[in-house]
Amino acid sequence: MDGNLQKLTFKPAACVSQEELRQYLSGDMNRQGLRRVEDHLLDCPLCSDAVDGFEASGEHATDDVEDFDSFRRKLPLTSTDNIRQLQPGSGLRRAIAVAAVLVVGAVAYFSFSQAPTGPELYAKYYDNYENDIPVSLRRPGLSDVDPNFAQALNSYTEHKYSQANMLFGRAIQAQPDNEAARFFAGLSLLESNQTEKASSYLSTVANGTGVYAKKAAWYLIMCDLKADNKASAKERLDKFIETGEIMVVEAKSLRDKL
Amino acid sequence: MAIRFLNKQPAVQQLSDEELVSRFSATQQETYFEELYRRYKHLAYGVCLKLMKNEEESRDVVSDVFKILFTKIPTSDIKSFKAYLYTVSRNECIAKLRQKKSEMDKMAKFNHVENSPTDFMESEGFAALFNAQPSMEQEVEKAVGQLGDEQKTCIRLFFYDDKSYREIATETGFTEKQVKSYLQNGKRNLRILLEKELRKHTT
């Protein structure tokens, strides 16, 4: 035994894909893939039970479950997404296409006659803010970088928001004046649907004079939209447009829709 | 610093589970739910196969599970999609088995799982703590030494020597199922032991 302890990791990994599962069950997997899957099975009850289920039943057809197009017929119609799946062709398809046109018309009518909700506007105007802290400052272990902050930024970049939330919390506890930590904590909480907490962090940044102040003000508006608090969003947006430094076109367009 | 506002939306395939859940909740657009369905339907099917032991019934339960998810996601505060899927899948299977009176004896084997965060979340929190530490080698070695013989053997062969479940089974005489179980329990015990150590360091 070579005693290489680095092979022991607790880092959560992606679940086993359908193709990996097929290869694993049929014994077609290469050594590297086998390693990844078997390591993941130790930590993931979902994948572990799934493999047990297939092995116990002798079932290796991992694609035996209906595809989404077939499954969607069992769902209530809630979105215009369905319309995109239709193609002209047979009489039946044409009839469906006509129905789709009528649905589009109805949707268009309601779109014009009803104001969009906060979450709908959020979906339209929100964009994930990329981690813009230099890589050199994200590396844990540097003497002047708080390891929780560095790790939190990495988790944020990898879209692991629950983990990032916890680590940003610790970083802020250690360095309450860390503006970037408060800004990214706010964004991470917003991604995790914790709009109230997100607003609290972003407010302190927006009320300050740091480099993230203006950007925090924009994301505060996004918090209001996500929480469907359009009145507050409108009020903040008016102030945001007044100063007019960034995002002017988007802000004015959003203001029109509110 | 590079400021990138309003960058292009990533394709749904590039979004994390959390982002898909969040966007589906906000917009109700099926595209986001479809991606979750594509990522996890085979795993939900496997979990159902394990409990139902019947392919046709398992397919029906998978369908029910995703119908439930489709309705519940927009109104639930879901921290981990896969943990939620696992819980709903197990509970649906158990509910179906309860309905089949002739199969009541199967029920004794399973406990109803509560809708609460499972090991998934614990693992993620611990991973962050573990990865933030500069060197844990000695602590890990010490913790491995405290494991029972079977777990210790399997842990060493798997993590130190890169052996597969099958190779460990051949070498030790355990079945592959036993190997997996010793590794799962051994790794969980290691996490508990190391967590205690880490808390000492961080407090």
pLDDT at position A110, please? 58
In a domain, A5, yes or no: no
* Residue A77 domain flag: yes
Q: Tens of pLDDT along A69-110?
A: 888 887 776 544 444 444 444 566 667 777 777 777 776 665
Shared-domain flag, residues A169 and A218 = yes
In a domain, A2, yes or no: no
pLDDT at A88: 44
Are A245 and A137 in the same domain?
Answer: yes
Let me know if residue A3 belongs to a domain.
no
Domain boundaries, chain B: 12-115, 121-202
pLDDT (tens digit per residue) in B170-202? 999 999 999 999 999 998 888 888 877 777 766
User: What would be the CATH architecture of the domain defined by B12-115?
Assistant: Orthogonal Bundle (1.10)
Number of domains in chain A: 3
At A48, the pLDDT band (50, 70, 90 cuts) reads: very high
From CA A249, how far away is CA A1, in angstroms rounded?
63
Residues A252 and A152 reside in one and the same domain: yes
Q: Is residue A72 part of a domain?
A: yes
Q: Is the ipTM of this complex over 0.95?
A: no
Q: Looking at the structure, tell me whether residues A147 and A90 fall in a common domain.
A: no
pLDDT winner (highest mean) among A101-115, A170-184, B33-47: B33-47
Ranking A30-34, A36-40, A237-241, B197-201 by mean pLDDT, the lowest is B197-201
Q: What percent of chain B has pLDDT over 90?
A: 43
Hey, of B43, B89, B187, which one would you mutate to test binding to chain A, going by the most A CBs within 10 A of its CB? B43
Same structural domain, A137 and A253:
yes
- pLDDT at residue A92, as a whole number: 65
- pLDDT of amino acid B9: 57
User: Do A100 and A75 sit in the same domain of this protein?
Assistant: yes
Look up the domain containing A80 and give its range: 68-114
Residues A130 and A237 in one domain: yes
What part of A 72-131 touches B (C-beta under 8 Å)? 72, 74-76, 78-79, 81-82, 119-120, 122-123, 127-130
CATH code at position A147: 1.25.40.10
The verdict on A141 and A72 lying in the same domain is no
Q: A18-26 vs A45-57: helix axis angle to the nearest 10?
A: 50
pLDDT, greater one: B150 or B110: B150
Eight-state DSSP code of residue B158:
I
Give the model's pLDDT for residue A101: 75
Residues of A within 8 A of B50 (CB-CB) are 49-50, 52-53, 56
Residue at token pair 């000695």: B138
- Return the SS3 of A3: coil
* 3-class SS string, B48-81: HHHHHCCHHHHHHHHHHHHHHHHHHHHHCCCCCH
Please state which architecture CATH assigns to domain B121-202.
Orthogonal Bundle (1.10)
B:121-160 residues touching chain A, CB 8 A cutoff: 121, 123-128, 130-132, 134, 136-137, 140-141, 155-156, 158-160
B121-202 has the same fold as B12-115: no
Whether residues A174 and A252 share a domain: the answer is yes
- A208 and A186 within one domain: yes
**Tokens matching residue A90:** 């047979």
> Which has the closest alpha carbon to B20: B45, B5, B37, B7?
B37
Q: Where are the beta strands (DSSP E) in chain B?
A: none
Structure confidence by residue, pLDDT tens digits, B86-135: 999 999 998 888 877 555 554 455 544 544 444 554 455 555 555 555 45
Integer Cα distance of A207 and A199 in angstroms: 12
**Interchain CB contact of B196 with A (< 8 Å):** no
Stated pTM of the model: 0.53
| A247 close to A126: Cβ distance less than 8 angstroms | no
Look at residue A142 in the predicted model and tell me its pLDDT: 56
When pLDDT is averaged across residues B20-37 and rounded to a whole number, the result is 91
Among A33, A57, A81, give the residue marking a domain's end. Answer: A57
In this structure, are A152 and A106 located in the same domain? no
Does A218 map to a domain?
yes
Separation CA A47–CA A19 (nearest Å) = 13
Distance between alpha carbon A173 and the CA centroid of its chain, in Å? 25
Task: Find all residues with CB under 8 Å of A63, minimum gap 6, and list them.
Answer: A18, A22, B42
